[in-house]
Amino acid sequence: MPGPLEGVRIIEMGQLIAIPFAMKMLADMGAQVIRLESTGRLESYRADSVYQNDVSGEFWNKGANFYEQNRNKLGVTLDLSKPEGLQILKDLVSVADVFSENFTPRVIKNFGLEYEDLKKIKPDIIMVSSTGYGFYGPWANFGATGPATEGAAGLAYQTGYLGGEPVMAEIPYTDYTSGEHTVFAVMTALMHRLRTGEGQFVDISQTQATSSTIPEILMDFSANGRTGPRMGNQDSVMSPQGCYPCRGDDRWLTMAVATDEEWQAVCRVLGQDGWASDSRFEDSLSRWQNRDELDALIGPVTSSWDAHELMHALQKEGVAAGAVLDSKDLLFDPHLVERDFYEVVSHQDSTGIPPLPYASRPWKLSKTPAVKGKAAPLMGEHNSLILSELLGKTTGDVAALEEAGIIGYGPSDPRPVRRPSLDEQVRQGRMQRYETDFEEQVRRAFPG
Amino acid sequence: MPDRALEGVKVLDLTHHISGPYCTKLLADFGAEVLKIERPGGDPTRRMAPFLNDEVDPEKSLVFAYLNTNKQSVTLNLKSAKGIQVLKSLVEQSDVLVENFAPRVMASLGLDFEALQQINPSLVMTSISNFGQTGPYRDYKAADIVEYAMGGLMYISGAYDREPLKHAFNQAQFKAGTDAASATLMAMYHQRLTGEGQQVDVSIQEAVATGLRDVVNNFTYTGAVRRRQPNHSGDLSRIRASADGHLTPNPGIGAGLNWDVLVEFMELPELADDKFNTPSARLANAEELGQIFDDYFINQNKYERFYAAHEKRFIFGVIQSPEEVMADPQFEARNYFVDIDHPVLGTLKYPGAPFEMSGTPWDARNPAPTLGQHNVKIFGQRLGHTPEQLVQFRATQII
C-alpha cells in the first residue's frame, strides 16, 4: 500500500536529528527523500555508535543513529564547495517539491541557497530551514544543539528535582520537538500548495517550537508574573504522583493518583489499610498538602514489588501506573510489539549488520499506512541512480564527477569516534549493563 | 488579508485536556475551521491551573486560553440521543474529527469510525489515546509521568543515583498533539487527492518512544542498556552552573571541533593536552575534563560567555528563566510573543508561532472561546434549528 505522500519529492540537506528525523517521517509516508551528504565533512552520526562498537572497515556505513534517522531515504554525496556540485543541487531543486536543511543561515547564504534563490529555479518550491533560534534575528547565526535550545526555550529551567538545579534530557530533546513541528509545517505547506499551487519559505526556530509546548510556565509568568518551583516528579494539584523504587537494580514505577477512589485502590493493592483511613490523606487537597510525607511512605512499600507486576495490579484497579522501561524493556514491551511499533529493516549486505527492529511512527493510518522500511543509504549509494534517472547524466558524466571529487563513496578523512569498551562504559556508569547474547535475543523476538 | 494555509479544512473537535486541543490548535492557528464540542460542564482544562490572578473560573484558565485560540465552542451532551443526532449532522459537514477519549468511549456512543464513515465517507477520524486503539494496554490509564516512563524517556532522565525524573509539565501530551496534527494532515492530503477518508490512531506512549536517541538502538547494536548518565559522562553539552545561573557550554560537535581555539577561548592551558584533544580522548578522560569545566564556569557570567562563545562559533547555550525567555532579544526580534485580547482575561502575551511561514503566516485572530459561545451561530444559523428549539435543547440539557 503506498503512503499518502507518494509523488512528493524532497531534497534534504540535513544533519544529525532535527531535519533528518522529520524527513524520515515523511519518507516513511511515501515521499521520495533524497538526502545530500558531504564526503569532506562526515556526518557525525555515521562515525559514532557503530554496530558492535567495531570501527574497522567502512565504519561510516554502520552508525546506529544514522540508520535510526535516515530510513527510506536515497543517498547522494555532493561537494558543494565546487560550482559543479552546487549546480547539481540546484538541478535537483528544479525537479523537487520541498528543499529542507538545518545549517546556520550563514552557510545557506554563502552557498546562495536562500528561498529567494531557489524560487528562481523552482517557483513553487517549499523551502524549510530549521535552526536553533530562527533564520533571522540577532541570534540567527548562533549554532545550536538540543541542550542549547532546551535551555533557551525555558523548559530546562523548570525541570529538576525538588529544590534542585535545572535538569535537561540526555538526548537532544528539542531536535525531536522541533522535528515533530517540522513534519506538521511541511504538511501544512503541502496542503496549501495543493490548493493554490504556491510554495513558500518555512522558518523553524527550534527554540520557538519548544517554548510553544510549555504554556503552563510561560502563561503563568506572562499573566501572573510568577515563576514556580522545580517540582521533581510531583504534580501541581494531585498526589501521590511520583517515581517509586521497585525490586531489583535501578527498577522503578510511576504512578499518578487523581481521585479518592484511585487512592483507596492504591491502599488496597499495597495492603495499607492504615493509609486508607489516615486523615492526612483523606482527600486530594490533604494528600497534596502532605505529599512529601506520602511519597516517603510509598517508596519503602513499593520496593518489594516487581515494577511490572505492580503496574498491572494497579491498572487492574483503575490506577494510572507505569513501569519505568529501560531500553531493553522498551524494545520487548509486549504492548508495543503487539502493535507492530517496531519495524524490522534489512541492511545492505556489505554492512554485515543483520536485519534489526527500529521504532516506526506514533501514528497508524488505516488506508495509507506507510511504505515498507528500507535501510538508510550507504554513503553515495544512490549517486548513479539519481544523477542518471533524475538529471539525465550518462555513465561517463558520473565517472567524471567522481574523478573530480564532486561525488564519492566514503569520507575523505575517515576518523571514527572510538567508544570505550562496554566494560569500561559500565564502570563509568554510562551503561547500566550489557548482555552478550543480544543478537540472539533480538533475532528471536523480531524474526523479520 | 493573507491566505491561510489550511483554509477550507473543517475540523470537528471532540478533544479535551492537552494532547487533542494542542493538535486542533495547530490546525486552527494555520487556518482550519475548528469547532470545539464541549460537554455541558466544559473541557476539564477550563479547571486547570494556572488561572489569571489565581481566580478559579472556567474562563480564566491560562492553559485553556492558550490551547484553544481560533476555535469556536459549542456545548453538546453526547449522552443524549438528540445530542448524538446533532453531532452526526455536524460530521456530515466536516473533513476531520479529532477525539482523545479513552478508546472505548466513541464506540460506546455509537460513534466509532465505521458508523461515522457511513455518514461521511471522506471523513478523516483522528483518535489520540494513551496507548493506542489496540493492544494489551489499550485501556490502561495514564498521566504524563506514566507516558514518560512507558515511552522510554524517563529511565535515562535525571541523576545517575536518584529516581528517574520527568520533564516539567505535559511534554508527552504536546508531542502526541503535534504528531496527531501531522498525521491528520497526511490523511487530509490523501483525502484531497482521492476523496477517501480514513482512521488515524495516535498513541502518546509511541509519541515518546519515537523520539529517542541511543536507547533501543544501543541494545540492538551492542547489547548495552543505557542508564542516566553520571555527572562527568564525557558529554560536554551538560548543564554547568555559572555565577549567575546555568549554561550549556558545548564547544562543538565531534571531530569538527577545533580544540586549540577552545583552549585559547577558555584560557585554560591545562586543556591543551593529548588527554582531551580528540573526541575519543575526551570520552576516555571525561571525569577529569568535566571537573575542569565545572571549576571554570562557576566563576563566569552566562550571557557574557554565551555571546563570546558564538563569536568563535562554539555552540554554547544559556538556561533561561521564564522572565529571561520573555525578554529574549531573539524572540523579540521575531515577535514570538503576541498580544491576544480575550473578553474575560483581557490582553495578555501568549507564546506565538511555533514556526514562521512566509506565504501563509501563523495568525491568532481570535482568542479561546467562552463556553458555548457559538451555540446560536452553529446550531441556529448553520444547522437551522429555531430559537424555540434551542431553548428546548437548553432546557433538556442537550446544550
Is the minimum CB–CB distance between B259 and chain A shorter than 8 Å?
no
Pairing state between β B124-129 and A98-101:
unpaired
Q: How confident is the model at residue A259 (pLDDT cuts 50, 70, 90)?
A: very high
pLDDT of residue B233: 67
* Calpha distance A16→B366 (Å, rounded): 38
* Calpha distance A230→A227 (Å, rounded): 9
Closest CA to B166 of B154, B179, B182: B154
Rounded to two decimals, the ipTM of the complex is 0.98
Q: How confident is the model at residue A365 (pLDDT cuts 50, 70, 90)?
A: very high
* Calpha distance B160→A167 (Å, rounded): 12
Please enumerate in sequence order all residues whose Cβ is within 8 A of that of A203, keeping only pairs 6 or more positions apart, or say none: A129, A131, A134, A135, A136, B355, B356, B357, B358
Q: In the block, which residue shows the cell 576516555?
A: B284
Report helix, strand or coil for B61: strand
Mutation for A interface: B167, B231, B336, most A CBs within 10 A: B167
pLDDT of residue A221: 98
The answer to whether the CB atoms of B214 and A217 lie below 8 A apart is no
Residue B22 has a CB neighbour count (10 Å cut-off) of 27
Q: What is the mean pLDDT of residues A79-99?
A: 98
Find the angle CA(A65)-CA(A69)-CA(A70) to the nearest 5 degrees. Answer: 115
Q: Are A422 and A53 in contact (CB under 8 A)?
A: yes
Residue B59 has a CB neighbour count (10 Å cut-off) of 20
- The partner residues of B98 in beta bridges, in order of sequence, read B13, B126
The answer to whether the CB atoms of B186 and A368 lie below 8 A apart is yes
> CATH classification of B240-318, choosing from 3.30.1540, 2.30.38, 3.90.550, 3.30.1380?
3.30.1540
CA dihedral defined by A219, A223, A229, A233, rounded to 10 degrees? -30
Show residues of chain B in contact with A334, CB under 8 Å.
136
DSSP state letter for B122: T
- State pLDDT tens for residues A408-436: 999 999 988 888 899 999 988 889 999 99
pLDDT of residue B234: 65
Helix (H) or strand (E) holding B98: strand B96-99
Mutation for B interface: A135, A145, A262, A339, most B CBs within 10 A: A339
pLDDT of residue A126: 99
The answer to whether the CB atoms of A339 and B203 lie below 8 A apart is yes
Q: Are A438 and A331 in contact (CB under 8 A)?
A: no
CA dihedral defined by B173, B174, B175, B179, rounded to 10 degrees? 100
The answer to whether the CB atoms of B213 and A368 lie below 8 A apart is no
Is the minimum CB–CB distance between B179 and chain A shorter than 8 Å?
yes
The CATH fold of domain B10-211+333-395: Rossmann fold (3.40.50)
Q: Which residue of A has its CA nearest to B122?
A: A367
Is the minimum CB–CB distance between A419 and chain B shorter than 8 Å?
yes
Shortest Cα distance, chain B CAs vs residue A73, angstroms: 18
Report helix, strand or coil for A200: strand
pLDDT of residue B170: 97
Q: What's chain A's Rg over C-alpha atoms?
A: 25
Residue B332 has a CB neighbour count (10 Å cut-off) of 13
Is the minimum CB–CB distance between B323 and chain A shorter than 8 Å?
yes
Show residues of chain B in contact with A168, CB under 8 Å.
239, 248
pLDDT of residue A1: 58
Peptide bond into B50 cis (omega under 30): yes
pLDDT of residue A317: 98
Average pLDDT, chain A: 96
The answer to whether the CB atoms of B5 and A222 lie below 8 A apart is no
Sorted by where each begins, the domain ranges of chain B are: 10-211+333-395, 240-318
pLDDT of residue B172: 98
Q: Which residue of A has its CA nearest to B48?
A: A237
Closest CA to B220 of A437, A431, A337: A437
Maximum distance among all Cα pairs of chain A, rounded to whole angstroms: 85
Is the minimum CB–CB distance between B226 and chain A shorter than 8 Å?
yes
Residue B328 has a CB neighbour count (10 Å cut-off) of 24
Q: Is the dihedral of CA A351, A357, A362, A363 positive or negative?
A: positive
Q: Are A311 and A323 in contact (CB under 8 A)?
A: yes
Q: What's chain B's Rg over C-alpha atoms?
A: 25
3-state helix, strand, coil in chain A (%, to 5): 45, 15, 45
Q: Got the DSSP string for B209-248?
A: HHS-SSSHHHHHHHSEEE-PPPS-SS-TTS-EEETTEEEE
pLDDT of residue B181: 99
- State pLDDT tens for residues B268-278: 999 999 999 88
Q: pLDDT tens per residue, chain B (399 residues)?
A: 568 999 999 999 999 999 999 999 999 999 999 999 999 999 999 999 999 999 999 999 999 999 999 999 999 999 999 999 999 999 999 999 999 999 999 999 999 999 999 999 999 999 999 999 999 999 999 999 999 999 999 999 999 999 999 999 999 999 999 999 999 999 999 999 999 999 999 999 999 999 999 999 999 999 999 999 887 766 777 899 999 999 999 877 654 678 888 899 999 999 999 999 887 888 888 889 889 999 999 999 999 999 999 999 899 999 999 999 999 999 999 999 999 999 999 999 999 999 999 999 999 899 999 999 999 999 999 999 999 999 999 998 888
* Calpha distance B173→B48 (Å, rounded): 15
Q: List C-alpha distances in Å: A223 to A226, B59, B62, B63, B120.
A: 8, 14, 8, 11, 42
- State pLDDT tens for residues A160-211: 999 999 999 999 999 999 999 999 999 999 999 999 999 999 999 999 999 9
pLDDT of residue B2: 66
pLDDT of residue B254: 54
Residue A297 has a CB neighbour count (10 Å cut-off) of 18
Per-residue cell: B208:
515518546
Q: How confident is the model at residue A437 (pLDDT cuts 50, 70, 90)?
A: very high
Give the amino acid at B32: A
* Calpha distance B114→A152 (Å, rounded): 46
Per-residue cell: A267:
491502599
* Calpha distance A118→A127 (Å, rounded): 8
* Calpha distance A152→A158 (Å, rounded): 12
* Calpha distance A96→A119 (Å, rounded): 11
Domains of chain A: 9-213+336-445 (3.40.50.10540), 241-245+252-323 (3.30.1540.10)
Is the minimum CB–CB distance between A298 and chain B shorter than 8 Å?
no
* Calpha distance B184→A188 (Å, rounded): 10
Per-residue cell: B167:
520533564
The answer to whether the CB atoms of B192 and A419 lie below 8 A apart is no
Cβ neighbourhood burial of B341 (10 Å; 0-12, 13-18, 19+): exposed
Q: List C-alpha distances in Å: A429 to A64, A423, B67, B362.
A: 21, 10, 41, 45
DSSP E strand stretches across A119-228: 126-131, 200-205
Per-residue cell: B72:
469556536
Whole-structure pTM value: 0.98
Give me the half-sphere count of Cα atoms (radius 13 Å) on the Cβ side of residue A15.
Answer: 18
Q: What is the mean pLDDT of residues A249-266?
A: 97
* Calpha distance A317→A265 (Å, rounded): 6
Straight-line distance from the first to the last Cα atom of chain A, in angstroms, rounded to the nearest whole number? 19
Is the minimum CB–CB distance between A336 and chain B shorter than 8 Å?
yes
Q: CB-CB: which of A151, A183, A217 is closest to B322?
A: A217
* Calpha distance B3→A192 (Å, rounded): 9
Pairing state between β B71-75 and B96-99:
unpaired
Per-residue cell: B393:
435543547
Mutation for A interface: B45, B67, B261, B325, most A CBs within 10 A: B325
* Calpha distance B46→B52 (Å, rounded): 12
- The partner residues of A440 in beta bridges, in order of sequence, read none
Please enumerate in sequence order all residues whose Cβ is within 8 A of that of B282, keeping only pairs 6 or more positions apart, or say none: B234, B236, B276, B289
